[in-house]
Amino acid sequence: MDRRSFLGAIGAAGLTTASAPLRQSFAATAAGPSGRVNRVAVIGAGIVGASIAYNLSRRGCEVILIDKRGPAAQASGNSFAWINATYFDMPPSYYSLRVHSQNEYHRLSREVDFPIHWGGSLEWYHSAEREKEVAEGVRRIQQLGDPTWMIDESRVAGIEPNLNLNGDRQVAYCSSDGAVDPGATTMALVEKVNDYGGSTVFPARVTGIDQHSGKIRIDTDIEPFEVDLAVVAAGASANEIASMIGLGTDLVKPATPGIIVTTRPMERIINMISYTTDTHFHQLPDGRVVLGEKAGPPLTEQHLTYLTERPNAYPTAELAMQHATQIIAMASRYVPQFLGAEVDKVGVGWRPLPLDALPIVGHVPGMPGVYLASMHSGVTLAPIIGHLAAMEILDGTRVDLLSDFRVERFLR
């Protein structure tokens, strides 16, 4: 299944026709710890953990944000950061969640200052089979009211004049998609947590989690913390934390590395996200171009071993630059102006993926003082997950929009 399949939150206003109603159940049996939740530890300072921490903090909760390296140090800081829904055949509830999150990004960006660009997206492939799959997906989500169309090369030239499709192809165009700088967005959310009186603890590795007397004790290699509730938003480390709480099952597949190249600022070249068979790229508001590869040269066993031991880094600067040059050359077949780009950063992000590729959100059965939040794509879903998790934690409710994404599906 394509990356986009694994890549929608809600503002109080602006729900699209594709969105199911956001219903809440305030039943007395709602999951969650008894009593008022005043102090919460969020384990994982990626964009999802930072969003949950921000939403809890702005509602008056004392938040301790813990990470073994630092904010956006792993997958979040090395993400292509495409804010989208999906054309492909996934559960309607997942599509709806992603659409809600696109809406929530608009509200969040009015509260928090971070780089975001709403230019829409273009997606196309070099095989008739994939083009047919995309076209069928477009028809499916058009029935939900999504602003998406199949357009031809002449129409593409009118809206993205510097893009060369290298042939007469049908392209999926979605006008509602956008992109962010994920590292800057995560840092902006963390700064807001600090502004609201929260604290950040990193680098700190969690070594144990225990629930006793209505409290949660979190042991780290720095010091222990006692809180009312712990949120686990640990990304690729979710299985390690799940083992500590005795969940008895893995939550995510082994993480895979994704290479992202960011250039130094350039004049505005492209307006939209482009995603195709072998590459993908977009341009941030400050002019930096973000590029990734879909089918580049495989990483050597030595390189993979190195990345496992030292995540987010290349063995040498020379190797990093060689790989960046290959990725830029690949993208320049579609946008020749990229050939003059100067590399600013080459990042390696270890991408977590839940076992069934769908989000895992909610309280842990039998351990209501622990709340899970694991997903891909965290960048797309961070705003809605942060908003809804805070509601479930502080209001003792269960939000229907998250019903299909509970951890119970694995425990059964």
pLDDT of 14 higher than 80: no
Tell whether the torsion through CA atoms of 179, 181, 184 and 190 is positive or negative: positive
Closest by Cα among 234, 294, 285, 283 to 259: 294
Residue 215: pLDDT band (50, 70, 90) is very high
pLDDT at 32: 38
Share of the chain above pLDDT 90, in %: 67
Task: Tell me the pLDDT tens digit for each residue of 226-241.
Answer: 999 999 999 989 999 9
pLDDT of 25 higher than 90: no
pLDDT at 1: 37
pLDDT at 188: 98
pLDDT at 402: 98
User: What does the pLDDT average to over 148-164?
Assistant: 94
Task: Tell me the pLDDT tens digit for each residue of 312-334.
Answer: 566 677 878 888 999 999 999 99
Task: Tell me the pLDDT tens digit for each residue of 101-149.
Answer: 999 999 999 999 999 999 999 999 888 888 888 899 999 889 888 899 9
pLDDT of 28 higher than 90: no
Dihedrals phi, psi of 229, to nearest 5 degrees: -160, 145
AA letter at 375: M
pLDDT of 3 higher than 70: no
Q: What is the rounded CA–CA span in Å between residue 390 and residue 407?
A: 17
pLDDT at 126: 86
Residue 224: pLDDT band (50, 70, 90) is very high
Average pLDDT score, the chain: 86
Q: How many CA atoms lie within 13 A of 33 on its CB side?
A: 23
pLDDT of 76 higher than 50: yes
Share of the chain above pLDDT 70, in %: 86
pLDDT of 7 higher than 70: no
pLDDT at 148: 93
Closest by Cα among 169, 170, 176, 216 to 32: 216
Q: Prior bond to 377 cis, omega within 30?
A: yes
pLDDT of 284 higher than 80: yes
Tell whether the torsion through CA atoms of 71, 72, 74 and 75 is positive or negative: positive
User: What does the pLDDT average to over 85-103?
Assistant: 88
pLDDT of 19 higher than 50: no
Full strand arrangement of the beta sheet holding 82-83 = 82-83, 178-180, 116-117
End-to-end distance of the chain based on CA atoms, in angstroms? 25
Q: What is the rounded CA–CA span in Å between residue 84 and residue 7?
A: 7
What pTM does this model have?
0.88
pLDDT at 199: 96
pLDDT at 385: 98
Residue 411: pLDDT band (50, 70, 90) is confident
pLDDT at 22: 35
Look up residue 46 and give its DSSP letter: S
pLDDT of 177 higher than 80: yes
CB atoms within 10 A of CB 366: 11
pLDDT at 168: 64
Task: Tell me the pLDDT tens digit for each residue of 330-387.
Answer: 999 999 999 989 999 998 877 889 999 999 999 999 888 999 999 988 999 999 999 9
Residue 270: pLDDT band (50, 70, 90) is very high
Q: What is the rounded CA–CA span in Å between residue 182 and residue 82?
A: 10
Q: What is the rounded CA–CA span in Å between residue 238 and residue 226?
A: 20
Task: Tell me the pLDDT tens digit for each residue of 195-204.
Answer: 999 999 999 9
3-state secondary structure of 171: strand
pLDDT at 304: 55
